[in-house]
Amino acid sequence: MAKPTAYLRLLKAVFTLAREGVFSVPSRTDVPKDVAVLLWIADRIARPESEVLDRGERLNAALDKLGPSYIKLGQFLATRPDIVGNDIAKGLGALRDDVPAFGSEAAREIIRNNLNRDVEKLYSSFSEPVAAASIAQVHKATITTPDGEREMAVKVLRPNVRARFQRDLESFYAVAHLAERFIPSTLRLRPVAVVDTLARSVVMEMDLRLEAAALSEMADQSADDPLFSVPKIDWSRTGRDVLTIDWVDGLKLTEIEALDAAGLDRKKLATDLIQVFLRHALEHGFFHADMHQGNLFVHPDGTIIAIDFGIMGRIGPKERQFLAEILYGFVKRDYLRVAQVHFEAGYVPAHHSIEDFAQALRAVGEPIHGQSADDISMASLLGLLFEITELFDMETRTELIMLQKTMVVVEGVSRSLDDGFDMWQAAEPVLREWLTAHLGPGAKLEQAVKGVSSIGRLMQELPELAERASRMSRELDGAIESGFRLDKESIALLARKQAEQNRYARYAVTTLAVLGSLLALDHLF
């Protein structure tokens, strides 16, 4: 049961949403009378100037006024078009953390409490805030090294942000519980589980040691990538509320004129960006899940540099294979194969027809092949895919939604660099290379070798299995003699059962070995 204060904060939030015109809808057809009354009241509260804004802009304005926790909620819901709809998700996708800074003195105190040293002893210089977001702000600093002065970026968590978020989280849970109790149609969307996911995400984001760990993992993952790099971490100046990394001295991807003046090839940059993202997702299953323009820079040599690793995505080996096959199927217009992959992955319940699903996918895929590259949009494709999920009883896959959302964002950044960017042409070489490496003849040979190796280990264990059975029999005889007594009939029955188990174990191991050999040969040929 939520605290009364949570409901009071919720009422304040509802008033702010109504004031910004979020509840104003153009059509009231089939709206229940009690809801119509509430909408009429909301219309009376709304500011007149809100009428000129679309719903996404209205919601952005309201969340911005409600503060950091609600901004983070909006950014999270932008990744869930299955819940809020594509139009709202698109509007929320423009929500940015442009919030006032909290000043240098508070930041200095937080650093002192985290690192047990004054700022002057940690850094040679320490600037006023240069950027501020809903959870943290950034300062520019320098440190003295044997090689000279080194410029650093110092990220400092907002004061009391955890307590503030915890209070707002109570209101979010209150809404979720009310929705599940009084609006049965929302049960399919699992509002409480959605808030749980948001809470876990932000709790991790509010521990800057975890962001440093993600950055470190990404650095190891991309160490040999000539197209991508990340800043180095200064672990000695990093704590729960403080993160110190190298200052990124590159051009922002939003600075189109500066990119041109530096002689950078924007078309190549657009292609490099999508290929870097796909390689991270497919090769390692670990990717930057917040790759908007504000988090991306480019070095004069063309290397893409990413910052802000608070939100990361992961997908497992099977999901990576399905992703590659699905995307490549769309590239090659093989809709039946795309449908089969969905069924093999369990994304579509088995009672549906593969052929019917392939037909629906054709309705999604064919329009993109009938348009020019300028008009082909990953966002449009994913929007259409979401429309058919309900028709085929497809459950939401949160890990794939994070991936899909990031693909939409990355494609948008690439289009901002190159008006004629062709997502499919850029993605095709990476998809083909990955599928050849992991599903081609060479990969099958490697899988066969692994299968034969496993069978070999199993065969080596046969003597040990036999010894275990023999030892069990001896121990049973000893227990009978010294621990407890059984009549002759019981002893004979146990002996028969033990012999049967030993025989079945030998049969099972032999059968597994034969089946394993056949599977290995199937992979090989």
Q: Using CA atoms, how far apart are residues 382 and 93, in angstroms rounded to an integer?
A: 15
Largest Cα separation within the chain, whole Å, is 97
Give φ, ψ of 127 to 5 degrees.
-85, 175
> CA 51, CA 73: separation in Å to the nearest integer?
24
Q: Are 212 and 238 in contact (CB under 8 A)?
A: yes
Three-state DSSP string of 365-385: HHHHHCCCHHHCCHHHHHHHH
Which one of 64, 82, 97, 290 is the catalytic residue? 290
By three-state DSSP, how is residue 194 classified? helix
Distance of CA 223 to the CA centre of its chain: 22
Sequence-separated (6 or more) residues with CB below 8 Å from residue 504: none
φ, ψ for residue 230, nearest 5 deg: -135, 160
State the CB neighbour count (10 A cutoff) for residue 446: 13
User: Are 153 and 247 in contact, with CB atoms under 8 Å apart?
Assistant: yes
Count of other CB atoms within 10 angstroms of residue 155: 24
Tokens of 520: 């290995």
Structure tokens at 300: 């004069």
Buried b (16+ CB within 10 A) or exposed e, 356-374: ebbebbeebbeebeeeeee
Q: Which residues contact 53 (CB under 8 A, 6 or more apart)?
A: 21, 61
State yes or no: is 374 an active-site residue. no
Angle between helices 4-19 and 33-45 (to 10 degrees): 70
Q: How many other CB atoms sit within 10 Å of the CB of residue 231?
A: 19
Please name the residue ranges forming H helices in 190-316: 191-205, 208-221, 256-261, 266-279
Round to whole Å and give the CA distance between 439 and 328. Answer: 13
Nearest by Cα to 237 from 97, 124, 101: 124
- Beta-bridge partner residues of 193: none
Residues known to be catalytic? 290
